[in-house]
Structure 1
């Protein structure tokens, strides 16, 4: 597969197929394909091989066969391959960003930022690969020693979403390979091409055959259960909805598979009475509109103190109304289409429900004429507490605003959700901001900052927003098993 031009990757048929298995590009075993469409136009991008159960089992065979050699590979060599992949992603940023725009729809600015973020996981875990340590010490009671070793967990299987087709893949692939684990990846059916491009770059960087197997498919119920039902698969990581995560947890339980789950969110964005309102507006635009709002950590509910609510609403509404909507590759566009028609319909239903219950549209941008799955940037005010939009993940460019005067009451409302992924707080008083951050039930909190994600920091949530952490030093630990050896010898 050639990354020299986007046409070769996205539009021209590949004679060898799109299933990347054992270092080879193959068709699905039964020859099935499925269509991938451009959400900005609805046009067919290309038909992609659709892997099935036979391909899933062959991928496990491939990964299991490669596991021992990769486990024995010095960590320095693993690190070098990951660092070379980082460099290749940086080199091909433009091509990868255009590819993301083509299949995902997000604005080019956001797509290029995603490529940079995704590449950083290879650099971070290239550095972490050589820092996996062991320990040796005396038993406190005397007479023998403790040796504690870290070993790769084994074959890993990943299911990634469509909203960050590069970053959600590299956030899982990089630490797994760094730890010494082979990988099975099922990308989202809407956005398989970016994952295939990353596979091509890892191959170019020197990754041995069989260590990364990418199975695009529109029949996940055949592929994923085959992985979770095989005892050779010892680690499973999923990013997606809470409902799907619960079903996968049930399947993983049968073989006691080690799992990491990054699930849904319902993030509150709090603007205190002493906040820098202009900074809060900038942060709100980052937290709400990055990726068109189709982000699990996107600000979902806005709580503005009554003293600043009018000013914040006016300035935030002006910023949202000024958002330019259109196909992601057009100059000046900052909001592309939603992923599909169903996504637009859900967003509209949440807005209609809120308005029917008494909310008002305070600001709204426009949408382009013609085809495509577009929804305007929208600000709602006077949103009642029983509106669905305050209790369901919007996953789109709509911001419902409410006000508060009592801090305790606001915290209770913010925490009244099964989700706990991200939260945001704006205040000039660092002490107040930290106090609120500690009371918010969330795995991550942005204080005077609307952008949270960092490969060097642990990403994950509490409650029904997931299990485990990705990124940071914690990220590689998810792919390691701890072995204790009690060591004695005769003097």
Structure 2
């Protein structure tokens, strides 16, 4: 398929050139791609696929261009009804090292692919992704529980990220300039970091796979993706699509595991690994950073958030309510950028609270395939119990329960959209990532008070501010100690924009130009020039 892509419509002479320049690095027998024939395989080929609402999804590990089984399996559970969807292969630390070895063998060939060839491959993969939109939406709804409309929205955003990277592959730039004292030239270029370990979360399984892998592959890096235990099928469908598009063996690898700690510990201790990109809790990110320090592994961390949501006295209250409901209850509140603390100026607090409670009451909780459902389940029973514990903690801290607060009886892990009001903020919740459908309302009297309270957190991922005064919102946004600020909007993810936080919310950025350069190392070449040479005659 890749050969057809690279050569279709070209005269025969040009076809020969395209085959030689685009495809020859991965021809059978080239160095680096015959190694797997001579190594002992501890895995067996796996032809098993799951039927998920009529969509075929591979269930094995994907290593060196093959789907493989391990002899151990992990059940994948539908959180809407606790039923088993299927089982996937359970990988160990040893299997992760097999995947890293494949990524390492393919690294030199992949990094030297012509940019246009890599871009063309991306465009083909993007087309195949679009053809499978319904499959991705159905699979995500089944294994994560999110409403199908949300799942389809996540897919569309993910495809947009992948297209963005496709368009940027051939537009990675360096610099050329004269050295300061003269006599030589300063050449700055960039080279791929190398084999990369991408750790994805369960709450946005498609978006994180596409955003991380898209950037790494566009930069010329090979990857080992570790899926989240709760949502391995979305990752498998993504990898299956890249395989069908023609990504070469070893360039993309996928590990499922029930023992993330073992997998991470072993792969992070291997000198062949050059980069780790992780999305998840700050606690786990801290562990990975400690592991990365042993070999000074290049690290990107997208960690926890606290999401202060400030509504000033001159805000459009109806707009703020609509955006707050989305920002708080999307994905049942299980998002690092969710609005955890809703900070209201006293002059609009009563109006906002009344309208917010009405909007919250109108939310329907249930199975994501019901088109009227807007809030799906909590991902696991363990997380459901944690959410119940948060309600008890909020009440103990003096919070007034205004709505919800209960587990919903039934087959799935459902919890009522919940709203608390606090009359003070002398508690530690601003340093906790809620990851729950629980909103906490606070009242302040001045903008300065709102800013002090918003910034009083270890986190620094996202914040939000609502006001009709442009000068005011710009001033407030600049004083918020967060990596991203939404002004009069509760969702701001965009392929063009750098996504990430400061403080304990992480290191580095994803998406935008910065997202690709996270997987590139700058390289400086000092070139001596004899400025008299060639000037005679």
TM-score of the superposed pair, with normalisation by structure 1: 0.95
**Where does residue 439 of structure 1 map in the other structure?**
479
Q: Is the 8 A contact 1:265 1:420 kept in 2?
A: yes
- Of 128-137 and 1-10, deviating more is 1-10
Can you give the 5+ residue segments of structure 2 that lack an aligned partner in the other structure? 1-46
Can you give the 5+ residue segments of structure 1 that lack an aligned partner in the other structure? none
Once the two structures are TM-superposed, the CA of residue 81 in structure 1 deviates from its matched residue by 1.6
Equivalent residue runs for 1:212-361 within 5 Å: 212-361=252-401
Once the two structures are TM-superposed, the CA of residue 136 in structure 1 deviates from its matched residue by 2.0
2-structure distance, mates of 1:414, 1:346: 24
- Of 305-314 and 364-373, deviating more is 364-373
Equivalent residue runs for 1:100-139 within 5 Å: 100-139=140-179
Once the two structures are TM-superposed, the CA of residue 451 in structure 1 deviates from its matched residue by 0.7
Counterpart of 2:238 (choices 178, 184, 198) is 198
**Where does residue 69 of structure 2 map in the other structure?**
27
Q: Is the 8 A contact 1:3 1:197 kept in 2?
A: no
Once the two structures are TM-superposed, the CA of residue 135 in structure 1 deviates from its matched residue by 2.3
* SS of equivalent residue, structure 1 residue 89: helix
- Of 376-385 and 245-254, deviating more is 376-385
Equivalent residue runs for 1:93-104 within 5 Å: 93-104=133-144
Flag as ranges the 4+ runs of structure 1 deviating above 3 A: 1-10, 364-369, 386-391
Equivalent residue runs for 1:454-473 within 5 Å: 454-473=494-513
- Of 358-367 and 347-356, deviating more is 358-367
Counterpart of 1:9 (choices 51, 56, 78) is 56
1-structure distance, mates of 2:356, 2:514: 36
1-structure distance, mates of 2:106, 2:292: 23
Once the two structures are TM-superposed, the CA of residue 480 in structure 1 deviates from its matched residue by 0.6
2-structure distance, mates of 1:175, 1:351: 39
**Where does residue 415 of structure 1 map in the other structure?**
455
* SS of equivalent residue, structure 1 residue 126: helix
Is 1:168 matched up with 2:208?
yes
**Where does residue 524 of structure 2 map in the other structure?**
484
Cα separation, partners in 2 of 1:367 and 1:9, compared to 1, 3 Å? farther
Is 1:406 matched up with 2:479?
no
Once the two structures are TM-superposed, the CA of residue 301 in structure 1 deviates from its matched residue by 0.2
Q: Is the 8 A contact 2:311 2:343 kept in 1?
A: yes
* SS of equivalent residue, structure 1 residue 207: coil
**Where does residue 188 of structure 2 map in the other structure?**
148
Counterpart of 2:106 (choices 61, 66, 86) is 66
Is 1:180 matched up with 2:214?
no
**Where does residue 89 of structure 1 map in the other structure?**
129
1-structure distance, mates of 2:407, 2:355: 21
**Where does residue 50 of structure 1 map in the other structure?**
90
Once the two structures are TM-superposed, the CA of residue 193 in structure 1 deviates from its matched residue by 0.6
* SS of equivalent residue, structure 1 residue 148: strand
Q: Is the 8 A contact 1:324 1:335 kept in 2?
A: yes
Matched residue count = 484
Q: Is the 8 A contact 1:137 1:145 kept in 2?
A: yes
Q: Is the 8 A contact 1:351 1:389 kept in 2?
A: no
Q: Is the 8 A contact 1:320 1:365 kept in 2?
A: no
Once the two structures are TM-superposed, the CA of residue 4 in structure 1 deviates from its matched residue by 9.1
Q: Is the 8 A contact 1:280 1:448 kept in 2?
A: yes
2-structure distance, mates of 1:175, 1:99: 24
TM-score of the superposed pair, with normalisation by structure 2: 0.87
Is 1:392 matched up with 2:439?
no
Q: Is the 8 A contact 1:96 1:115 kept in 2?
A: yes
Q: Is the 8 A contact 1:459 1:471 kept in 2?
A: yes
- Of 219-228 and 314-323, deviating more is 219-228
Once the two structures are TM-superposed, the CA of residue 386 in structure 1 deviates from its matched residue by 3.5
Per-residue CA shift, 1:454-479, capped at 9, x if unaligned? 11100000100000000011011001
Q: Is the 8 A contact 1:86 1:122 kept in 2?
A: yes
Q: Please provide the CA RMSD for this pair.
A: 1.7
